[in-house]
Amino acid sequence: MHALAIAIVVAVGIGSAAHAQQRSTRDMMNDKVNDMKARFAQTFEQCQALATSRGYRLADDGEEGDYRAVMMFIEGCIMGKQR
C-alpha cells in the first residue's frame, strides 16, 4: 500500500512537471510573437494573412508543433524567405 501511494505521488509529480514545461514553452513562443508584432507590426500582419492563405492554423490551443510551424513561417516571411 505504501509503494502504491509513492507511485501515485511520483506520477502526479511527473505530470505536473511536464505540464509546467509545456506552459513554459508556450509562454516563450507568445513572448516571441509579441516581440515580432511590436517590431514588425504591418509586416507581421501581412505574413500572418499569407500563412492563413496557405493553410496554417493560427489558433494557439492546438498542437505545439502547429503553433511553432506558423511562427517559423511568419518569421521566415518577415525575413523575406516566403513568397
Cβ neighbors of 70 (< 8 A, separation 6 or more) are 51, 56, 57, 58
The per-residue pLDDT string of the chain (83 residues; one tens digit each, 9 = 90 and over) reads 556 556 565 555 665 555 555 557 667 777 877 888 888 888 888 998 999 999 988 765 656 667 788 888 988 998 888 66
Does the pTM exceed 0.75? no
Structural domain spans, the chain = 2-78
